[in-house]
Amino acid sequence: MLAEKLLLAAADTGAKQVCLAGGVAANGRLRQLVNDGAQKLGAKVYLPELKFCGDNGAMIAAQGYYQYIAGHTAGLELNGLPTLPIDYE
């Protein structure tokens, strides 16, 4: 689905370059589908090395661990704020 939508967007806009990044870019099948489809479109593909295809989940969990160890906890009424700065106190 992701490869299909990426390639459709490239075809619709006439893009000659496509990029796949983030944790999902580590998926070998997805990388192959994007490469194959981009080749048919005549588009160049940019893929990061696998060592750079990280997922933020581990970093978020580590930060949560250190906050917990430091005694910073919250009640169940806490809600997520996706734009909250990391240094917010």
Domain boundaries, the chain: 2-52
Express each pLDDT in 32-80 by its tens digit.
999 999 999 999 999 999 988 877 888 889 999 999 999 999 888 888 8
Look at 2 and 80; give whichever has higher pLDDT: 2
Cα torsion angle, 32, 36, 38, 44, sign: positive
| Banded model confidence at residue 8, pLDDT cuts 50, 70, 90 | very high
- Name the residue type at position 7: L
How distant, in Å, are the alpha carbons of 7, 41, 54, 86 from that of 60? 31, 38, 12, 10
pTM: 0.64
Residue 56: per-residue pLDDT:
80
